[in-house]
Amino acid sequence: MSIEITKLENCENEMSVRMDSSETQEYFEKILQREAKKITIPGFRKGKAPISIVKKIHGESLKIGNLDKVVTEKFWKEVEKQDLNVISTPVITHVDIDDNDNIDFKIKYETYPEIELNDCNGFGIEKIVYEISENSIDEEIKKILFSKRTTAPADTIDNKEVIVDLEITKLDSTGLPLIGEKNEPTKLYLNSPDANQSLVESLLSKKKDDEFVFTHMPQHHHHKNEKVDHDHLPEKYSVKVKNIEKVILPEFTDSFCQETSKGDYKNVEEFKIRLKENLQKNYDNFSRRIFENGLMDELIRRNDFNPPNTFVDKTLDSYIEEEKEKYPNKKFPADVNIEELRESKRPDAIWGVKWMILRDKLLEKENLMVTDEELERIAEEESKKTGITKDKMKNYLKNSNHFISNLKTNKALKYLEEKAEIKIKSRIV
């Protein structure tokens, strides 16, 4: 018998094995004994024919029919013997048996990557601390007032506090509508920060049913010494004002604040304080997510590797299922190209697999893995909150992949944060 293991790309390996006839006979004898109990031969009751007769009649077909089983069984014995960390379903790529019952086979499989973590001490990382400005508070108030707006018909666009219905048609270089282009109906609030300001300026003083040509220059960033790309020429559009509605915003008063908050806030001042607190909380959470992603990115950068395709594909499967949940009846529309969707999400899946593998490796190296005592403590705390018995809660937490994964991630991030050199950067928003 001879065994050779060859490392291929990523975490793929190939095991090449030659099984001598002395070894294969043991396997075939077991198969013959097992299958003989199921075979009916004329003149004998089912499973009662002598082994010698069964072997003479069915021996060769039983060998060929069970060859893959022999190969697979031998493979897993070698996996256990050599303590190989196989993470994928093995694939038989070659199998052959000669006249003397010697078997040659090859099997491809993936193993967990062998990683030696580099030092995680002292890497620099930036953490943004956001300060909420009065301007941000005013913008949020405007959004709230706009959500409670009323409207009235208007004939002229006198100011930006209007909503207009536009019919926009793209024109060719001669000023004629492009063939095949449809008139695109567009509803635009002129005072929206997202509105195209050039278009807004062009619309001021226009009346209902006015039509004009709007010239738009597509944004294109050139590198130094780069010649202008003539594909990026001004674009012309025919714009027709179909309807104008004057926006009437409510006054921002104590009574408005009381009504909008259903009595939670008594006056304008209290409303603004709570609004600032909520904004600060949102930005703090946003800052935390950026900071944590930075920690993850740095761990991956210092220990980059090619992750197992098996893990990447499984992660992609879960991403696709999450996307499917967003559609009615949890089914993709006919126009969704699932393969293109998978490919678009592959970089995220690769990053996610790298993080999870390195996270677990870090926790193992630093002896920070989730312990039974830790689960016991958390289960006791949650039991007091929910009324569920501690044992049931512990069993639920222990078997919740989502909970365990989050717990591991929090442990790893806490460790990385303690080891990092954090540079605080203030930003007013």
Residues 75 and 206 placed together within one structural domain of the fold? no
Residue 211 lies in a domain: yes
Predicted TM-score (pTM) of this structure: 0.75
The two tokens of residue 57 are: 């009649």
Closest CA to 5 of 90, 70, 73: 90
Residues 239 and 353 placed together within one structural domain of the fold? no
Bigger pLDDT: 77 or 220? 77
Residue 240 lies in a domain: yes
Where residue 102 sits, what CATH number does that domain have?
3.30.70.1050
Tally of domains in the chain: 3
The per-residue pLDDT for 41 is: 84
Question: What pLDDT digit, counting tens, does each position of 146-168 carry?
Answer: 999 999 999 999 999 999 999 99
Whether the predicted pLDDT of 418 surpasses 80: yes
Mean pLDDT, range 120-140, rounded to an integer:
93
Mean pLDDT of the chain: 89
Burial 145-184 (b: 16+ CB within 10 A, else e): bbeeeeeeebeebeeebbbbebebbebeeeeeeeeeeeee
Provide the domain limits for residue 321: 268-428
Residue 225 lies in a domain: no
Partnered with residue 238 across adjacent β-strands are 169, 213
Residues 419 and 274 placed together within one structural domain of the fold? yes
Residue 127 lies in a domain: no
Residue 121 lies in a domain: no
Residues 237 and 375 placed together within one structural domain of the fold? no
Where residue 375 sits, what CATH number does that domain have?
1.10.3120
Where residue 201 sits, what CATH number does that domain have?
3.10.50.30
The per-residue pLDDT for 223 is: 47
The answer to whether the beta carbons of residues 411 and 368 sit under 8 Å apart is yes
CA dihedral for 79, 80, 86, 88, sign (positive or negative): positive
Whether the predicted pLDDT of 371 surpasses 80: yes
Residues 98 and 156 placed together within one structural domain of the fold? no
Question: What pLDDT digit, counting tens, does each position of 52-85 carry?
Answer: 887 788 777 888 888 898 899 999 999 999 989 8
The answer to whether the beta carbons of residues 362 and 117 sit under 8 Å apart is yes
The answer to whether the beta carbons of residues 235 and 213 sit under 8 Å apart is no
Whole-angstrom Cα distance, residue 293 to residue 413? 9
- Which amino acid is located at 201 in the chain? E
Phi and psi, residue 242, nearest 5°? -90, -35
The two tokens of residue 379 are: 């289960």
Mean pLDDT, range 40-45, rounded to an integer:
82
